[in-house]
Structure 1
Amino acid sequence: MKSLTRSAWIGVFALLATLGGAATGATAQISVTDDDPPLAEPSVDAQEAPPDAAEPEVVDPIRSAVGTTLEEWRWTRRPVVVFAESPNDPRFVEQMENITSRLDALVDRDVVVITDTDPASGSSFRRSLRPRDFMVVVMAKDGTIVLRRPMPLSVREISRSIDKLPLRRQEVRERRLDAD
């Protein structure tokens, strides 16, 4: 393996930290040699970068309900919560196939899909939303329930319910203005 310079490794670790590499268990082997040039001081521009210039947090769009709460997503993402009694429930399988086939459309709408297939886990989502058997719940960024159905939904139905929200309409308007 060819060894990288110290500054190259610092860049790699900065990228991993930004992407959450430490949280995913990413590791690297460093080989530092005496030939490496001394580390350069960061430029004045780099030291004074505005906070808005930070990379957006990378979030796995499909998560388990175990160990997460609604508060974690309030004002940052729109939770779509999929409840089932078992991961083998045909309705759950159909819903997840629908979601994964058009995941890009949901990611574009700041959706995080929360799955709860273990009634015994007593997740905070199950306690607050009280599903009976299979259920899909689409929520707004403020935590209000937008749509609640006891059957699988298409991504089109989920997207339409989100696109009607005032905050989503404002986001679309702002994107159009930024594009101009």
Structure 2
Amino acid sequence: MVMNRIFRRFILSALTLIVLAAGVALGSASAAAADLSDFRWEHRPLLLFAPTDSDPRLVETLGRIDASRCEFVDRDMVIGTVVAQGNSTLDDQALNADESQRLAAQYAIGENTFSVLLIGKDGGEKLRVNDVPDLHTIYAVIDGMQMRSREMRADPGRC
């Protein structure tokens, strides 16, 4: 009888630990922002690095993207805003400070630097601009890619 009670406690404790571990894992996975590798072969991230989320160059760039939203979406692009101070996002998912710092370090972006990086569907850096970008130039770079040529032949686009 005593062994039965000890065995039940052991099983109950083990199940509790499993449930807690699963809850932590699922909770952190759903709260974590998407990683760039999540977009590989599906989307072209446009990463906007700025000192703050209210930087005038960032605000202007986002306004330009909104003004050409159809062309942006037609090229399977997603936006990542990575800021030293403020709210960073990747495809509308919040990035925490560690994730923002990791991206800045990965692409060698200084803390007070404004920079725009186009990442291809293959995950490689395709273009880097250190000022408010001309989106037509970015779109031309994309349209010159072999993968984009195939996409345009398969679906001429909506814009």
TM-score (norm 2): 0.64
Shift of 1:108: 0.3
Q: Does 1:145 align with 2:154?
A: no
Runs (5+) with no aligned partner, structure 2: 1-31, 86-95
Q: How does 1:97-108 map to 2 (within 5 A)?
A: 97-108=63-74
Q: Secondary structure in 2 aligned to 1:91?
A: helix
Name the counterpart of 1:127.
105
Identity between Structure 1 and Structure 2 (%): 29
Give the 4+ runs in structure 1 shifted more than 6 A: none
Q: Secondary structure in 1 aligned to 2:155?
A: helix
Q: Higher strand share goes to which structure?
A: 2
- What count of residue pairs does the alignment treat as equivalent? 111
Structure with greater contact order relative to length (CA < 8 Å, sep ≥ 6): 2
1:99–1:154 CA contact under 8 A, matched in 2: no
Runs (5+) with no aligned partner, structure 1: 1-65
Q: Which amino acid aligns with 1:122?
A: D
Name the counterpart of 1:112.
78
TM-score (norm 1): 0.57
Q: Residues 80-116 of structure 1: CA distance to partner in whole angstroms, max 9, x if unpaired?
A: 0001010121111111111111111010000001111
CA-atom RMSD in angstroms: 1.7
Q: How does 1:9-48 map to 2 (within 5 A)?
A: none
Shift of 1:130: 2.1
